[in-house]
Each structure stands twice: as structure tokens, then as C-alpha cells.
Amino acid sequence: MATLALTKVLHFAAAHRLASPALSEAENLALYGPCFRGHGHNYTLEVTVRGPLGPDGIVMDADLLERTMRAAVVDLVDHHDLDGDVPALGVGMTTGENLVAAFYRLLDPVLPPGRLWRVALVETENNRFEYGPGAAE
């Protein structure tokens, strides 16, 4: 039986800054430039689930996927400072790489087992981060 995929896309706004506690203020500024200062993004979260076509003709209920994404990630981070307001992320520096991995970890246990294939986080039109078994595809 063929494997099918469903990708749901949601948006949220959040603030963060890139600053390593191991570096001085001058070193952080030199390394991260304007991203060292607090700033925000209008993020796009993409979640792909994958599996066989069920008897109901779907891979997964799209409304259920959206509700799960909102409850597990979007409601947690939307209009928050990711560095201070959201300890559940547990990511240290709020790089796109760390955030997308954290979002995957938040979503995986609340979706049907084995269905989560890829989580992507679009930070800007130039920066996209992907995590999961399907990230390289």
C-alpha cells in the first residue's frame, strides 16, 4: 500500500535573541550581529504526518492535526519571548535548529505513533529549519 503525507501549516509570532552565555557581550555581538539584540519573527510552522491511506480515505484528520499543533506548540509560543516565557522548550539558545527540534519533541508524543514525519520552521524567507526522518527529503 502506498504511503501518503499530509502537511499542515500554521503561523505564530514570537521574540527571541541569539546569545551564548559562554561568550562576552562583544563576542556575541560580533558572532550574531543584530540577532544578538531582542527581536521578533512571524514564524511558519509546517508539520508533516505520513502513513497509509486509512479506510476513511485520509492519512489523518487535518482538523485534528491542526488542533494538536495549536495545543502542543502554537499556544505555547505565540506572542511570547522564547528565551524567557517558554521554559517548556528547554532549548538553551533559541536558534531555529534548537526550536524545530523542540517542536518535534513536543508533537511526537501527542500524534498517532509513527505518523510524525517532518517538522519545519520558517523563520524568515531566507531561513528554514527541518527536523525528523523526512527532513532530508
The whole-angstrom separation of Cα 79 and Cα 62 is 24
Residue reference for cell 517558554: 86
Q: How far apart are the first and last CA of the chain?
A: 20
Catalytic residue among 35, 41, 66, 80, which?
35
The whole-angstrom separation of Cα 100 and Cα 122 is 9
Is 79 catalytic? The answer is: yes
Residue reference for cell 520558517: 122
Going from the C-alpha of 55 to that of each of 60, 95, 116, the distances in angstroms are: 11, 40, 19
Catalytic residue among 11, 27, 79, 137, which?
79
Is 25 catalytic? The answer is: no
Is 137 catalytic? The answer is: no
Radius of gyration of the chain (CA): 16
Active-site positions?
35, 79, 123
